[in-house]
Amino acid sequence: MGFVLKSSIKRLGNFMTMYDQDRLNKIVSEAHSRVSDSYFTSVFLSHSHHDTDLIFPIVVLLRGYGIDVYVDWMDETMSKVPTGETAQKLKTKIQVNNKFLFLATNSALSSKWCNWEIGYGDAYKYIDDIAVFPILSDGKWEGQEYLQIYPSVKLRGVYNEYHLGPNNFYVEYPNGDSISLKEWIKQ
């Protein structure tokens, strides 16, 4: 499984912010207001709340493809304290979003909620509509073997921050086939 460096994601966010601040502000405000009627595809973004610094660049990346992104803590109807109702709402959101993307950081891998979400997502999405986005932050990644059965998001070789962009991301299937992240999301 290939890894994307946490610094690359942050650099992408900085790069996009540098060039189009108005567009980024619109993307983030739309993520908060959930204007999903204007989008054909939506993604449930499973992540650890310890990785909130990565969410903005990932949301910007995905929204740049013209899709809606569901992030639980951006949903004003979601309780701040997890309950059984939280689990029920998450189940519904996983079902209604077209794709499931697991932001697989070390924090997410140790999160009971994230592991529960990917297990539930597996039942509804599996190979065509679920992918793992492995993020390496501290020189090692403590991935789980079971994640190898899913397609994974990877980053094509990037020489410096000026070559980093949305077209550098692709999804690789366990059989070695690959497709651009944008194409995977829209299929």
> What is the homologous superfamily of the domain 4-186 according to CATH?
Toll/interleukin-1 receptor homology (TIR) domain (3.40.50.10140)
What pTM, to 2 d.p., does this model score? 0.81
Paired tokens of 16: 């996009």
pLDDT at residue 166 tops 80:
no
pLDDT tens digits, 30-73: 554 544 445 567 999 999 988 888 888 888 888 888 888 999 88
Query: Which whole number is the average pLDDT over 115-128?
Result: 91
CB 133 within 8 A of CB 185: no
For the chain, the domains span 4-186
- Least confident piece of the model among 10-14, 39-43, 132-136, 167-171: 10-14
CA–CA distance, 51 with 105 (Å, rounded to integer): 8
Query: If DSSP states are collapsed to H, E and C, what string results for the chain?
Result: CCCEEHHHHHHHHHHHHHHCHHHHHHHHHHHHHCCHHHCCCEEEEECCHHHHHHHHHHHHHHHHCCCEEECHHHCCCCCCCCCHHHHHHHHHHHHHCCEEEEEECHHHHCCHHHHHHHHHHHHHCHHHHEEEEEEECCCCCCCCHHHHHCCEEEECCCCCHHHCCHHHEEEECCCCCEEEHHHHHHC
| Residue 87, pLDDT above cutoff 70 | yes
Q: What is the length of the chain? A: 187
Residue 1 pLDDT > 50? no
Q: Tell me, what's the pLDDT at 14?
A: 61
Give the model's pLDDT for residue 36: 46
Q: Compute the mean pLDDT over every residue in the chain, rounded to the nearest whole number.
A: 80
| Token representation of residue 120 | 């539930």
Q: What is the pLDDT of residue 91?
A: 94
Average pLDDT over residues 138-157: 80
Q: Tell me which residue has tokens 């990565």.
A: 54
| pLDDT (average), residues 160-177 | 79
Residue pair 143/109 in contact by the 8 Å Cβ criterion: yes
133-169 b/e with 16+ CB inside 10 Å = b? Answer: bbbbbeeeeebeeeeeebbbbbbeeeeeeeebeeebb
